[in-house]
Structure 1
Amino acid sequence: MQQIKNFILDLRPYSPRVISMPKHNTVVTNIDRITVNTDFVKNTLYIGYESQMQNTLRFLNGITLFLIEDMDEFNIPNKNDNCIMVFPRETDLDEISEKCASLISNQNLVFEDTYILLDAFLSQEKLQDIIEVAAQTINNPIIIIDNSYKVIASSSSCTTDDFQWNDIMSRGYCSYEFISMFNNIEEVKNETKLNQPFFSGCLASPLRRCISRLNVGRNHVGYLLSIEANGGISERNLIFLQVVSRLLAKMIDAGNRTVGGKLYSDYGSILLDCLNGNFSDRKMLMDCMKNTMFKLNSRYYIIVIDIGLYNNTYDIRVDHLREHINQVFKDAISVSYMNDAVILFESGMTEKEMMEYLSQYRDYYAKNKLRIGFSDSFDDLFLSRKYHDQTIRILKLLAKLNPSECIVSYENYKLYDLMLSGLRRNKTDINGYISRECAGIIEYDQQNDTRYFETLYYYIQFNKNLKSTADKLFIHKNTVSYRISRAKELFNIDLEDADVRLKFSYSYMLQELLKADLFD
C-alpha cells in the first residue's frame, strides 16, 4: 500500500483521482499498456483509457489500473478489490506511461537496496550494522540521534570534513545552540514529515543535510541525519532512507521500552527515563540508582530552560549554554528533553533563595532570550516527571502573563496554575468566578476608560503604599491617592476588610488569565 501512496505523491502534477483502493497490500513490479489482448495479472500496473475497461472491469479482481478519462460515465463495480486511479482527459498517455515506468524502475532498485538492509538486520540485528549498510548504500555519512539529541549511532565507513558534523560526532551529543537552530527548521518545528526524509540547508556549511524524523505512530524517538559529503542524495536514496527510518524507529522504540535490567552508562539516561515515565514503580528506579551519585534523602529541583527563542549568535564550536549550566548548577544532571534544557539540581536552598540565586544571571538569560523556570523542591526522584510538568506549565504562563520576565518559580505561579487547571477541568466560564464587586468595577473601567480596578489591586498588593503603587503604574502618587478616594465613593468598598482584599487578589488573577487567552 505504501508503494501506491508513493505513486500518488509522485504523480500529483498530473492531478490523479483515487477511485478505489484495495483492502490488501498491493505491490507492482511491471508496467503494461492496455490492449484488446491484455491478459490481466496481479503485480502489474496497467495504463490505458476508461473506455478500454468499461466492459472488462467487472471480471477483474486485485488489479492495479491507471486510466485516462475518455467517457462521460465510467461505472466501477463495488465488489471488486481493484486499485484504480483516473487522470484528466488532457493527460498524455505516453508521458504518464514513461513516468510510471521510471517510478517502478526506481522502486525496484530501492527493493534491491532494501533487501541488503533487511539481510543486515536479520544477520546482525545491531543498530550500528544497519547504519553502515545504509551509509554505504547512499554513499554518504549518517548519524542517528535520539530524542534527547544524543548520538546513538553513526557511520564510520563514510566520513566528511564538515566541521559541524564532526563536532557533533566528537561530542556524542548536540549542543543547545544546534538544538535551538535545528528546531527552527520549518519541517521539524511543524512535524509535517514523519519518517519521510527532507532536505535542509545549514548556515555553518555549504553541504545540504537530509533529515528524517523517526516516529513509531506519534511517538517520536529521534532523527536520522545525513549529509551530501560525497555527492547528491538521489530520489532513489530518499525512498531507501524512508525505509531505513521506519526500521530504525522501531528498533530504537523497542530498545527504549526495555528499562528493566538496562545498564545505564550515564545519569542523564536515568533522568530521561524518569521524565518519560519508563519506571513502572519506585523499586525499579531504586535498583537502577544503586552505585550512582543520586542521594535518596536530598532535596532536588527540576529546572527547565526554554531555548525556543534562544538568541543563538555564538560560534558553534563552543557549547555556551551547556558551559553556563555546568558553571551555575555544579554537579547537576542536565539533558535535552522535549526541545528544552532540563536540569536535575540537588540543593538545600529554599524557593526564595533559589530565585535570588538565579536572579544573578538575569542579564544573561534576557540577552539570550532564554526563559528559565524551576519547580517546587522534592525528594522523591520517582516523581521527577510531575515536577517537570509543573515547570513547563509555569513557563507557558510566564510567556503569556509576563513575557518580559525571564525567570519564574512554581511557588510564585502556583495559584495561577491551580485556577487554570480547575477551570479547564470543569470547563467553566471564568467570568463567573470573578467577585461581583470586582466585576462591577471592571465593567465601569471598560465603559469609562478608567483604571480603578488595576489601581486598587496594586494598592492592596503594596500594603496601601502610595509610592510603590505609583511606581508600579508609572503615575504620580497623588494620582493614586485621587483614584483610591474616588473608587471608595463610586463603589462603596472597604479596603480594611480582609475578605474584600482577598476578592481583589483572586479576581485580578482571573482577569489576567482571561486576557492572556489561556483557555483555548
Structure 2
Amino acid sequence: MRLNLTILEEELSKKYTVKSFLHEIDPMRYIGVQALEDDIIPLEQHILLIGAGCRNAAVLRGGYGVISLGEPDSRIIRKNECLILSEDIPLVKLFSEIQRIYFKYTIWAESLHEAVSKGAGLQELCDLSAEIFENPILVYDNNLFLLAISNDAQGLPVWDYDEKSGKRTLPLEVLNDFKLNEEFQQTMLTTGAKMCSENVIGYKVLYHNFWVNNFYAGRICINELKREITPGEYSLLEYFSNILEPVLQYSKVRQNERIKAFEQSLKDMLSGNAVNEMLLLAGLTDIGWGRNDRHFYIRIITEDRDSKTFSANYTCNQLENHFPHSFVFPYDQSILMIINLEKNRKELSILLSEIKMFLREGLFRAGISRVCSDFFRLREYFFQTALAVQVGEKRDPMYWYYYFGDYTIPAMFHEMTRNISSDIYCERGLFSLLKYDEEHGTQLYETLRTYLDCNMNITHTSEKMFIHRTTLMYRLERISSMVGADIKNPEERFRILLSYHLLDWTNGGQTPKLTPQSK
C-alpha cells in the first residue's frame, strides 16, 4: 500500500519527536523506504532515509520524500518533503519502525481486497477498518438508511428502525436540523475527504460523499468521538472510500424494473406525454391496485434545502412507511404521494390529520386533492394539488397544507384571472357603485353586499349595518337604479354575488379600488 509522509509523521510521532517540513498536498505515492547513501541512486516512489550529512546529488536537487536523522543541508529541506528526527536514533531501528508502519497498512489493504474478492459487504469492510480509524465509522445511503457502523460510541445519533426495509434510518428531527443548517447543505456538494465542523452535530466529522453517474449515492463518516481526527486520515479515508464505492453500488437495493416502468408511466402522464395504458394497468396490478380504486393525491413541495441535502428520497421512504398502501416518488421539484383508500381503509379525515402532522414535523408544505376513482385522471387531480398550493398560499399564508376542497371557488377565480383581468367578468353596475361611493363618501357597494349576504332580509341588513330601515330602503332604491340589474332574479343575483367574491379574491378581501380599466 502506498503511504505519504503525513501518515508516517503521525505514526512516528507516537514514539519520537518529529519536525515536519511538508510544503504542499502530500499524495499517497510512496511504496516503501530506502536507506540512502551519497553514492546510491534513489529509488522512485520510495521515502529516502538519510543522515544529517547527506550530500547525495539527487536529493540536493530535490523532489523526494525524505526522513532525516538530524537536520540536513538547508537545500534538502527546501527542495524536498522532509521529516527530521533526532540523530541519536539508530538508523536500523528507525528503518525497522518505518517497515512496521508499512506492514500495518499493507495488512489492512490486503485484508480489504481479499474481503471484497470474497463478496464482503460494507459492514465487514468497516469492521476491518475499525483499528485504523479508531473513531466511529458510519456508512449510509442517499435514503439515509444506515448501511454499516463500526466503533459504536456514546454521542452518536439514536437511529430509528424502519420496519419496511429492516434498516436503521436517521430520525426526522435530525434531518430537519440538517436541512436548516447551511454548512451541512454545502457538505452535500463536495467530492473527496472533507471535514464538517462541530457546529452541525456537536462534534467534527470527516466524511466522503459517494457519487454514481454524478448522482449522490451516500456517504461514509468518521466521527470524532474517541480521539482527534488527524490530517493523515484524510488520505486514508480517500483510499478506503475508493474500495467501498463499488461495493456500495453493487449492494444497493435496486427497484423492481416493472415498478420503475410504472413510475415512469405516471410521470409521462403527468407531463402530458403518450402513455402505454397496458403498461400502466400492469403497474397497478403489480402493486395490488385496481384502476377504479378510490384514492387521492398529495403533492409535497420540496425546498432548495431539500435538494441540497438530497432528502427527497429519504422523505419518499418515510412517507411509504408512515402511510401503508401508498405509492410515492419525486416529481418536478416536489414529491407526489398517492394513497389508495380501498386498501388503507382509514377514514379520509383521519388520514388527512396524520398527513398534516407529518408535514408539520418535516417542515413541508403540500397540496391535497379530492378523492378520485380513476387512475387515468391522474393529471387532473395532480393539477388540483398544485392549484391548492397556489391558491392556499395566497389566501392562508400561515398554513402548511392546502386541501383542494377548501379552495374550489378561489381556485376557479385563480384560473379565470390568469390571462384575463377580473373586472372583465364582473357586473358593471358594481363599479358604478364604487365610483359613486368614492365621489360622495357613501357605502352603496357595501350595502348591496350585506343585503345579499343577509338573503335580502331588510331587518337583518339594517341591524348589521347599524342603519335605520328607512335609510336602507332609500339606499336599495338608489342601488337598483345604478346597478341596472334585477336582484330578485336568482340568476342576476348569483352573477352579482359571484362578482363580489371575485373582486374579494383579486383584492385580498379589501374593498376594490377603481382602476382606469374598471371605470
TM-score (normalizing by structure 2): 0.47
Q: Which has the larger radius of gyration?
A: 2
TM-score (normalizing by structure 1): 0.47
